[in-house]
Amino acid sequence: MMKVNQLLKPNVVNTTAFNSLPPKHRDVVNDFYKVVELEKGNVVDRVEAAVDVVADKHNVSTEIVYNYIDKETGE
């Protein structure tokens, strides 16, 4: 059964690593994907800038996003 917040804010990705995250971390990762598309520069600069922006916005550690990226990439 879907929850109301899932209907209002669809997830950007649907992977095992993403689905294993707590709800707050899912929000952080969803915003990360949105922000990384808006940033300018090469891919490394865009990712690093997006991580900093979403960590500040959600008041969480940047490690949450970096750990998620590691799980997704299998590193």
Residue 1 has pLDDT above 70, yes or no: no
More confident residue, 72 or 75: 72
Place 4 in a pLDDT band, splitting at 50, 70 and 90. Answer: low
Give residues with Cβ within 8 angstroms of 18, minimum separation 6. 11, 26, 29, 68, 72
C-alpha R_g of the chain: 12
Global pTM value: 0.80
CA–CA distance, 19 with 11 (Å, rounded to integer): 10
